[in-house]
Amino acid sequence: MPTKVAILISGRGSNMAAILDAADREGWDVDFCLVLSNKASAGGLQLAADRGIPTDVLDHRSFGRGNRHLFDAALAERLQAAGAEWVVLAGFMRILGSNFVGPFAGRIMNIHPSLLPKYQGLHTHERALAAGEIRAGCTVHLVDDSLDGGPVLAQAEVPIVEGDDADSLAARVLIEEHRLYPAVVRAAVEGRLGELR
């Protein structure tokens, strides 16, 4: 039976596309059962639909302020209904609480554009440059209900070079994201995550 994977996005979905491309190219035994965005305008939704993958939108704003737990529970319900065994966060710009993380504990992963535990949260590249770092990179980690704080599964490094700004650094890191994330998702699908550590 193919492993069922749901991907959550909020934007252009280039990491999602890299995962879908690798799965096709390499013939993974996987069923991408749902691509869901919290924003109807996310460009990645169309990319997924064009490949025949079911898509859905769950707008966090429709739950009202202070109701994060209701959004989390509704999200968990959608993904459970789709039969998701793994949840892959790919540029999904919401922090998930225990109503979501609980039902999928140990089966949610995220990619973050820094060498965690450094630079959790937003504006990672700006902060790495301001701190005078000489290397940056990306991290795939399991998600718990802390911000970018779950166990690290894999990392890739890039150098920071003279003249870098946040955009040039983000572009260099993104190339590594597109290489690293598919490899880790494949390992999860094939039950080989332990080999990465």
Residues near ligand GRF (CB under 6 A): 9, 11-15, 90-91, 111-113, 138, 174, 177
How far apart, in whole angstroms, are the C-alpha atoms of residue 32 and residue 45? 13
Q: Which residue is nearest to ligand GRF (CB)?
A: 91
The structure tokens listed for 30 are 């996987």
Nearer to ligand GRF, 12 or 78 (CB): 12
Nearer to ligand GRF, 60 or 112 (CB): 112
Which among 60, 112, 125, 178 is annotated as catalytic? 112
Is 141 part of the annotated catalytic residue set? no
Q: How far is the CB of 103 from ligand GRF (least distance, A)?
A: 22
Q: How far is the CB of 14 from ligand GRF (least distance, A)?
A: 3
Nearer to ligand GRF, 112 or 141 (CB): 112
Do the beta carbons of residue 151 and residue 142 sit within 8 Å?
yes
Q: How far is the CB of 44 from ligand GRF (least distance, A)?
A: 6
Q: How far is the CB of 114 from ligand GRF (least distance, A)?
A: 9
Measured at the CA of 75, the angle between CA 12 and CA 116, to 5 degrees, comes to 60
Phi and psi based region of residue 64 (left: phi greater than 0; alpha: psi -120 to 50; beta: remaining): left
The structure tokens listed for 115 are 């060498």
Nearer to ligand GRF, 101 or 111 (CB): 111
List Cβ neighbours of 96 (8 Å cut-off, separation of 6 or more): 72, 75, 108, 143, 145
Do the beta carbons of residue 23 and residue 182 sit within 8 Å?
yes
What residues are labeled active site?
112
